[in-house]
Amino acid sequence: MPKVLISDELSARAAKIFMERGVDVDVKLGLSPNELLKIIGDYDGLAIRSATKVTEEVLDAAANLKVVGRAGIGIDNVDIGAATKRGVIVMNTPHGNSVTTAEHAITMILALARQIPEANASTKAGKWEKSRFMGTEITGKTLGLIGCGNIGTIVAERAQGLKMRVVGYDPYLSPENAKRLGIEKLELNDLLKRADFITLHTPLTDATRNIVDANALNKTKKGVRIINCARGGLVDELAMAAALKSGHVAGAAFDVFEVEPAKDNVLFSFENVIATPHLGASTTEAQEKVALQIADQMADYLIKGAITNALNMASVSAKEAPILKPYMTLGGLLGGFLGQVQAAGITGIVIELDGKAADLNPDPIVAATLAGWLGPFMESVNMVNAAAVASSNDIAVSTIRHDRQCDYESLLRVTISHMGGERTIAGTLVGGNKPRIVEVQHIAVESDFPPYLLYLRNYDKPGFIGDLGSLCSKHGINIATFHLGRREAGGEAIALVEIDGGLPASVLPKIRGLEQVVRVDSLQFPPLGE
C-alpha cells in the first residue's frame, strides 16, 4: 500500500480521502528539517502547503518518494529541478484558490479606491475626518490586467460586473478568448498608458520579474492605482516607493512582497499603501478545497497512475489513464529493446504514432518510451525525468503523429539516430492491450516481449537455424519460440528467439561466432504488469 506523509496543516478530510482511496497516511506537523530528513525515505508521497521546504537534500533522502503535492498554487518551497532529476512528480492545485485570490484583488481595488483602511484607523482613533478621505468611483474606470489566466479572467468578470472597462496584456491570450471574455487585448505599453487601476496576475519568471519597474511606472497615467496579489518581485518596490512619493501613483495595494515574511518594507511608510500578509488564498473555503484536491490528485497518481496539475510531467487524467496505459507499456518495451542494443554516438530519437495511437495524448507515451530507452544505460531514469535526461545529453526528441491509413489498428515506431546510422522498431497492441513487436529494422517479424529474448541479425542462408539450435542444445538452453523475418531470399534477416532462463555470458561469443550471424544481443524484459 502506498504511504503518504502530510507535513503541513491540511483539512482533516484530506487524510480521510487518502485512507478511503487505499493510501496509508501519516500526519506529522511542525517537523524540523532534520526530522523530515530522517523519515522521508519511508514515504511514496509528501503533501505540503508552504511551510515544508522540499530541498535537494530532502529529495536525496527520499529514496521511495514518487510525488510531492502542494495544496495551493505557489511552489517556491519545492526544488522542482532536483525533483525532476530524481524522477519525483511535483503537482499543485492551480484552480483551487482562484476565486478566493480574485476576490481579494477586487477587495483591494475597492479598498484602495475609497481609502478604507486609512479611514477605519482614523475613525477608531476618535477622529472624524470626513473631508480628508475623498475617494474615487470605479464605475467607468479602466482596469488593466497584467496576466489573463485563471485568476485574471475571474477578476475581469467581477470587474465587469462593477461596470469597469477591462483591458489585458497576456502573450498567451488569444484574440478569440479575449473577445469571449470581454477583455480588450493590448500590448503592455498601451495598457500602462490607459489603465486607471492595474492588477497583476502572472507567475514570477525571468520574463516577468520587475515587469512593473521605474520605466513602466513612467508610462502610466498620473493617479494610477496598482494592486499586486500575485507574486512578490513582479513590481520593483523601490521604484514603486519613488512613484508614490512623487504623487504619480495615487495608491498601491500589495498582498505579496519580494521578501516574505515582510516585516520591514520600503512601502510600509506610505499611508496610501494597503498591505496584507499574503492572504490571497486564505479563506476557509479555499483551504478546504485545495487540501481535498491535492489528496485526490496524489491518490489518483499513486493508485491509478493518473497525473493532474503536474509541473514537471505531462498530465494524464483518471479517465485517460486506463486507455493510455497499454500504449505507455508498449512504448516502454519498444524503447527498452533499443536501449539494450548498444549504439555509439546517439544523437536523436523519433517516436511515431499511427492509427488509433495518433489520436491519443502523446506526451505520456513519449515519456514512457524515453524512460524505457534510457533506462538500460542510464541510472535513475523514469517518466518524470527522461526528457530532461535526454536534453542534458544533447539527444533530440521528436514526435510524429500520422494522419493516414495504417496497416494496424494502432502502431508505435521508435527510431534512434546514432553514429553508425539508425535503429528502428515498431509494435502494436494485440487484442487492444497486449504489446507485440511487428517490425525490426524495417523487416517484418513478430514477437512478444518475453523475459529473455535473443535478437540476431544474420544472413538468410541454409543451416542457420540448425546451427543455432545445436549450439543452444549443447549448452542446455531451451528455445521457447523462434520468429524469423527477412528482406529478401539470401539477404539480411532477423531472428527473435525466446529462451527459457537467461543466456550465460560465456555462450554469447559462441553465438556471435556462428558463420551466418552478423550480430546478437541478449535482451531482458520485465513481466507485463510490473
Active site residues: 231, 260, 278
Q: In what order do the strands lie in the sheet with 273-275?
A: 184-185, 165-169, 142-146, 197-200, 224-228, 249-254, 273-275
Q: What is the DSSP string of 363-429?
A: HHHHHHHHHHHHTTTSTT--TTTHHHHHHHTT-EEEEEE--S--SSSEEEEEEEEETTEEEEEEEEE
CB count within 10 Å of CB 521 equals 16
Asked if 212 and 234 touch (Cβ cutoff 8 Å), the reply is yes
The whole-angstrom separation of Cα 197 and Cα 403 is 49
Please, are residues 105 and 147 in contact by the beta-carbon 8 Å criterion? no
Classify 454 as helix, strand or coil.
Answer: strand
CA distance 66 to 363: 19
**Which residue, 66, 106, 103, is CA-closest to 86?**
66
In the three-class reduction of DSSP (H, G, I as helix; E, B as strand; rest coil), residue 91 is classed as strand
Q: CA-to-CA distance for 56 and 62, rounded, in angstroms? A: 10
Bin 441: left if φ > 0, else alpha if -120 < ψ < 50, else beta.
Answer: left
Q: By the 8 A CB rule, do 436 and 383 touch?
A: no
Q: Give one word for 305, left, alpha or beta, with left for phi > 0 and alpha for psi -120 to 50.
A: left
- The residues, ordered by sequence, that sit 6+ positions from 176 with a Cβ below 8 Å of its Cβ are none
